[in-house]
């Protein structure tokens, strides 16, 4: 796995089933927001943007999703299909969510509240910003 994909593995207790725990220091930021994504149209591309400031961790609690991360220079991908493994979506990382299954249920925790202005949805603008950072 390259430097773009950074996974968080949450501790899991077998307890008549499994119980997975997310807390500091496993979550590397203060959580200001969380949201779920589910009942998606299968295989419809989601994401396709980056954030100026918001850092996030995406967990695929059920089903699977192929995450493609891009820092403006390199791309890497990973299939998420385990409820205790999350991928860090850092600020200024373009992310595509692909091959979403009908039963896929995703939980995303975020470092900032929702702000439309935090989104970069134009890939050319993203390339300009990230190349300026190098």
Is 49 annotated as catalytic?
A: yes
Taking the complex as a whole, how short is the minimal distance between the CB of residue 114 and ligand T46, in angstroms? Answer: 3
Q: Residue 114 in contact with residue 56, Cβ under 8 Å? A: no
Taking the complex as a whole, how short is the minimal distance between the CB of residue 13 and ligand T46, in angstroms? Answer: 27
Of all residues in the shown chain, the one whose CB is closest to ligand T46 is 114
Taking the complex as a whole, how short is the minimal distance between the CB of residue 38 and ligand T46, in angstroms? Answer: 11
Cβ distance to ligand T46 smaller for residue 58 or 78: 58
Q: What are phi and psi of 74, to 5 degrees?
A: -125, 155
What residues line the site for ligand T46 (CB under 6 A)?
33, 35, 37, 46-47, 56, 58, 89, 108, 114
> What are the C-alpha distances in Å from 18 to residues 15, 21, 26, 50, 83?
5, 10, 18, 33, 10
Reading the block at residue 126, the tokens are 């993203």
Please give the positions annotated as active site: 49
């Amino acid at each position: 796995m390259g430097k773009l994909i950074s996974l968080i593995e949450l501790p899991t207790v077998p307890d008549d089933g499994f119980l997975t725990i997310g807390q500091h220091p496993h979550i590397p930021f203060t959580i200001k927001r969380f949201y779920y994504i589910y009942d998606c149209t299968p295989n419809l591309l989601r994401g396709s943007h980056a954030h100026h400031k918001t850092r996030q961790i995406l967990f695929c609690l059920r089903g699977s999703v192929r995450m493609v991360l891009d820092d403006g220079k390199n791309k890497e991908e990973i299939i998420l299909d385990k409820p205790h493994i999350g991928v860090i979506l850092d600020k200024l990382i373009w992310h595509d969510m692909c091959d979403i299954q009908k039963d896929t249920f995703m939980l995303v925790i975020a470092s900032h509240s929702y702000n439309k202005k935090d989104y970069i949805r134009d890939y050319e603008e993203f390339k300009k910003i990230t190349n300026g950072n190098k």
